[in-house]
Amino acid sequence: MANLATRFQRARFGRTGFVAEAISRERTDSVLDIGSGEGWLLGEGIGPVQRRVGVDIDQQIVARARVRYPQCEYLDIDGATLPFRDEEFDAVVLSDVLEHVGDENKKPVIDEALRVTRAGGRIIITVPHRGVWSWLDPLDFKRRYPWAYRVFQRVARRQPWTSPEIGHKHVTRKEVTQLLDDQAQIERLDYSGWFAPAGDVPLALGQLLHHFGLLPFRMLWGLGEWQTLEASLPAPKLLAGHLRLVARRR
């Protein structure tokens, strides 16, 4: 019960909290964050780590991260072609990345992450889980329901972050295990998010309303906080909307 209570207390910190805790469990001198986005995880989300490197293909957000967190190193490169030596990092993070890269790129990205992780180091992965509610993920409508997404694009006049063919495809533990290909041993595995649409759908609607100036940012932020909380609550595998794991490099 104590462990369950602790997980509920930490749920409000979401996937960033999971990654930060995983990194802090042992001495870590270097971290690579693949798909680092705005850089918040490395800049503020984790404890003291000597070397912090983030990579992302979006040049604009990488530029912003460099300005905001000058103590970190950010590169605008593809996660499947990393310019680092073998076994250069103590920990490598892929936090909500695999659902954005497309099936054909998942293995190259994982292989590169494993290559640059030292023997005995950790791969930390968070990803949407393919449970019974995954078909209701609004971010995956562009792949599952292209006709409906075309209507949305005409109304909202927004371009997707990833192509409709890639979508926001959820994955299973079996798929992640196959991607790791016996090069890393899973040491910790958490399923979370009892009913993901309860957080995802209101947030997606809120983002749309905010886009049209119909919802204040503070209310959108509140919806984001609720989505983070719901997505982090411990859940059984069948219902879980999110999968979070730590694997040890062999």
pLDDT tens over the chain, length 250 residues: 345 445 444 445 688 889 999 999 999 999 999 999 999 999 988 888 999 999 999 999 999 999 999 999 999 999 999 999 999 999 999 999 999 999 999 999 999 999 999 999 999 999 999 999 999 998 898 899 888 888 877 777 777 767 888 889 999 999 999 999 999 999 999 999 989 889 998 988 898 888 889 999 999 988 988 888 889 889 999 999 999 999 999 9
Pair 33, 42: CB distance under 8 Å: yes
pLDDT at 147: 85
- Sheet containing 51-55: give its strands across: 73-75, 51-55, 30-34, 89-95, 117-128, 242-249, 184-192
What is the model's pTM?
Answer: 0.90
pLDDT at 3: 55
Domains with residue ranges and CATH for the chain: 1-130+170-194+234-250 (3.40.50.150), 132-167+195-232 (no CATH)
Give how far Cα 79 sits from Cα of 7, 83, 108, Å.
30, 9, 8
pLDDT at 139: 87
Pair 98, 39: CB distance under 8 Å: no
Count how many residues are written for the chain. Answer: 250
pLDDT at 113: 98
pLDDT at 13: 65
pLDDT at 228: 87
3-state helix/strand/coil string of the chain: CHHHHHHHHHHHHHHHHHHHHHHHCCCCCEEEEECCCCCHHHHHHCCCCCEEEEECCCHHHHHHHHHHCCCCEEECCCCCCCCCCCCCEEEEEEECCHHHCCHHHHHHHHHHHHHCEEEEEEEEEEEEECCCCHHHCHHHHHHHCHHHHHHHHHHHCCCCCCCCCCCCCCECHHHHHHHHCCCEEEEEEEEECCCCHHHHHHHHHHHHHHHCCCCCHHHHHHHHHHHHHHHHCECCCCCCCEEEEEEEEC
